C-alpha cells in the first residue's frame, strides 16, 4: 500500500469518527440530555433537596418561635405572678386558662385514682397537728392520748378548757391550756351560741380527745368565737384526722374577698385582707371552684361577675357579716342587704340529711373537675347549723359522701362542697404577736400554702373571719 493510500485511509477514519461523534452528539442534543449536564444534575439534586430541606426547616423553626413567644410570655407570667401557689399549681391553672381543662382533669383523675388516702392504721408522729395561731403545742411520750394545744398570752391564767386538738403522735399527753383574763364584753345573750357538744367519731374506738373542741379567737363573755377539733372521716381511713371548725357569727363576722385571678379585678376590695383589718382577723378559708367550673355565680360588693343560678348551693354574707348557706331561689331570692354570694355546685346536705344523689352522681354535679366523687382525697366544705353557726370541714381521705357525713356529724342542716385537691383546701388562723405583727398558721400542716396566706396578694377568692368590735374591745 502506498503512502497516499495510507493517508487517505487515515483521513477517512478520522472523518468517520468525527461524523460518528457528531451523529451521537446530535442524537443526544435532540433528546435534550448532554452527558455532562446529566451527571451534573444527578449530583446536584441531593444537594438541592438538602438545601431546600434546610431552608424549609429554618422557616418552620422561625414560625414556631414566633408562635411560642406569646405562649412563653404568658406561661412565664403565670409562674412569676403574685400569690403563694406552687409551680405545679400555677402550671395547672395556666393550662386551664388556655382551654386544657379536660386534659388536666384526666391527669388528675388518673393520679388520684392511684394516690388516695391510706387505708387503716392510726395517726403517726408525722401526722398533721391542728395549727392555731398564738398557741404552742407541748407533747410528751406517754400512753395513747392525742396531744392538745396550750394558749400562751401575756396576761393569762390556767382555766378549764376543751381538750384535744392535734393529730400528731397518739402517744402524747394533754398539755395545760391557758386563756386570757381580760375583762370581757357582754353581747346579746340570745345571740351567743352555747359551746358545741363533743363530736362522736365514726370509728367504734375513738382516739382519746378525738372530737373534743379547742377554742380560739377572742374570749367574749366566757365564750370563744370559734372552736376546732379533729375527727376521722370514716371507719376505713383510720390514720387520717380531718379538721372541723365551728364559728359563732354572733362573735365573729365573715367577709368574702376576691382573688387576683379568681375572679380577677377590679372589685371594691383588694385580693387580701387589708392591713388595717388584720388585727381583728381570726381565720380565713378558701372559697370554691373556679367560676367557670362551679356551676354558679358570684356577687360581691354590689357587682355581679357571673350570674347567680337558681338551685345552686350558695354561701351568702350580709352587710353585717352574718353568713348563711342554702339554695339560691329557694332560701335566698334577692341580693338586697347582701355583701356577697358565692355559689358552688349543689348542696350536699339539706334538711340535715346527706343528699342521696351523691352516691350515684356520675361526676357531673359535684366532681367534674379533679378526682371522682368516690375518691378519698383532700376536700373542704361548709355548712350551717340549726341555730345559725357555721361549720367548716377539711382534710384528706374525704369522698364527697364522707365530706357530707362529717358536716352532718358537726351539726350542719345545710352544707356545700367548697374545694377539691390539697392545693386548694386551706384554713388559716391568725394572731397578733408581742411586737404587734399579725401572723398566721395553717390549721393542718400538710396544707400546701403558707402560714401567712391571705395577708398579701392571693390568686383565689376566700372568706375571712373577723372578731366583731365588741370582741376586739374586750381583748384589746
Per DSSP bridges, beta strands 156-158 and 353-354 are unpaired
In degrees, rounded to 5, the angle at the alpha carbon of residue 428 between the alpha carbons of residues 184 and 436 is: 55
Residues 6 or more apart in contact with residue 366 via CB below 8 angstroms: 345, 346, 348, 358, 373, 400, 417
Give the DSSP letter of residue 28.
H
What is the rounded CA–CA span in Å between residue 349 and residue 367? 15
Residue 154: half-sphere exposure toward Cβ, Cα within 13 Å: 8
Please spell the DSSP secondary structure of 253-309, one letter per residue. Answer: EEEEE-BTTBB-S--SS-SS--GGGGGGEEEEEE--S-GGGTTS-EEETTEEEE---
In the structure grid, which three cell numbers stand for residue 365, read together? 354535679
Say if residue 263 is preceded by a cis peptide, omega within 30 of 0: yes
Task: Measure the N-to-C terminal CA separation of the chain; round to a whole number of Å.
Answer: 143
Instruction: Name beta bridge partners: 440.
Output: 430
Model pTM? 0.75
Please spell the DSSP secondary structure of 108-125, one letter per residue. Answer: HHHHHHHSPPPPS----T
- From first to last of the 476 residues of the chain, give the pLDDT tens digit: 544 554 445 444 544 544 444 444 444 444 555 666 656 665 566 666 677 777 778 778 788 877 777 767 666 766 667 777 777 766 766 677 667 777 877 777 787 777 788 899 988 655 557 889 877 543 322 233 333 333 322 222 222 333 333 323 322 222 223 333 333 333 333 478 888 999 999 999 998 889 999 999 888 777 899 999 999 999 999 999 999 999 999 999 999 999 998 898 788 999 999 999 999 999 999 999 999 889 999 999 999 989 999 999 999 999 999 999 999 999 999 999 999 999 999 999 999 999 999 888 777 787 655 677 888 999 999 999 999 999 999 999 999 999 999 999 999 999 999 999 889 999 999 999 989 999 999 999 999 999 999 999 999 999 999 999 866 555 55
**Dihedrals phi, psi of 321, to nearest 5 degrees:** 85, 15
Amino acid at each position: 500500500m502506498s503512502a497516499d493510500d495510507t493517508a487517505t485511509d487515515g483521513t477517512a477514519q478520522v472523518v468517520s469518527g468525527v461524523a460518528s461523534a457528531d451523529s451521537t452528539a446530535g442524537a443526544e442534543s435532540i433528546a435534550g440530555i448532554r452527558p455532562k449536564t446529566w451527571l451534573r444534575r444527578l449530583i446536584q439534586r441531593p444537594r438541592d433537596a438538602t438545601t431546600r430541606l434546610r431552608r424549609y426547616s429554618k422557616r418552620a423553626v422561625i414560625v414556631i418561635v414566633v408562635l411560642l413567644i406569646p405562649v412563653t410570655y404568658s406561661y412565664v407570667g403565670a409562674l412569676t405572678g403574685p400569690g403563694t401557689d406552687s409551680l405545679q399549681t400555677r402550671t395547672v391553672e395556666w393550662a386551664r386558662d388556655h382551654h386544657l381543662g379536660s386534659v388536666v382533669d384526666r391527669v388528675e383523675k388518673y393520679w388520684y385514682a392511684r394516690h388516695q388516702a391510706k387505708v387503716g392504721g392510726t395517726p403517726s408522729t408525722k401526722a398533721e397537728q391542728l395549727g392555731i395561731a398564738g398557741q404552742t403545742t407541748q407533747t410528751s411520750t406517754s400512753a395513747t392520748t392525742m396531744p392538745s394545744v396550750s394558749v400562751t398570752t401575756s396576761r393569762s391564767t390556767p382555766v378549764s378548757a376543751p381538750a384535744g386538738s392535734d393529730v400528731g403522735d397518739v402517744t402524747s399527753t394533754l398539755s395545760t391550756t391557758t386563756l386570757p383574763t381580760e375583762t370581757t364584753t357582754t353581747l346579746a345573750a340570745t345571740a351567743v351560741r352555747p359551746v358545741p357538744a363533743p363530736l362522736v367519731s365514726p370509728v367504734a374506738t375513738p382516739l382519746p380527745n378525738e372530737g373534743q373542741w379547742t377554742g380560739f379567737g377572742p374570749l367574749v363573755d366566757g365564750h370563744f368565737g370559734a372552736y376546732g377539733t379533729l375527727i376521722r372521716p370514716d371507719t376505713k381511713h383510720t390514720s387520717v384526722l380531718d379538721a372541723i371548725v365551728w364559728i359563732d357569727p354572733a362573735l365573729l363576722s365573715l367577709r368574702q374577698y376576691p382573688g387576683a385571678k379568681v375572679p380577677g379585678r377590679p372589685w371594691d376590695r383588694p385580693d387580701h385582707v387589708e392591713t388595717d383589718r388584720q388585727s381583728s382577723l381570726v381565720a380565713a378559708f378558701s372559697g370554691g371552684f373556679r367560676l367557670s367550673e362551679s356551676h354558679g355565680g358570684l356577687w360581691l360588693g354590689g357587682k355581679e361577675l357571673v350570674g347567680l343560678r337558681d338551685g345552686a348551693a350558695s354561701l351568702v354574707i350580709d352587710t353585717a357579716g352574718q353568713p348563711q348557706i342554702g339554695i339560691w331561689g329557694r332560701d335566698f331570692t334577692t341580693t338586697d342587704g347582701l355583701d356577697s354570694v358565692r355559689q358552688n355546685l349543689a348542696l350536699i346536705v339539706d334538711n340535715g340529711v346527706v343528699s342521696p344523689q351523691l352516691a350515684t352522681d356520675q361526676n357531673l354535679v359535684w366532681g367534674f373537675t379533679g378526682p371522682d366523687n368516690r375518691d378519698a382525697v383532700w376536700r373542704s366544705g361548709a355548712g350551717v347549723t340549726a341555730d345559725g353557726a357555721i361549720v367548716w370541714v377539711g382534710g384528706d381521705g374525704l369522698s364527697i359522701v364522707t365530706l357530707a357525713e362529717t358536716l352532718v356529724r358537726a351539726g350542719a342542716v345545710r352544707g356545700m362542697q367548697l374545694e377539691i385537691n390539697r392545693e386548694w383546701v386551706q384554713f388559716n388562723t391568725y394572731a397578733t404577736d408581742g411586737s404587734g405583727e399579725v401572723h398566721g398558721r395553717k390549721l393542718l400542716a400538710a396544707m400546701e400554702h403558707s402560714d401567712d396566706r391571705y395577708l398579701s396578694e392571693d390568686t383565689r377568692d376566700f372568706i375571712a373571719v373577723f372578731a366583731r368590735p365588741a370582741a376586739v374591745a374586750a381583748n384589746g
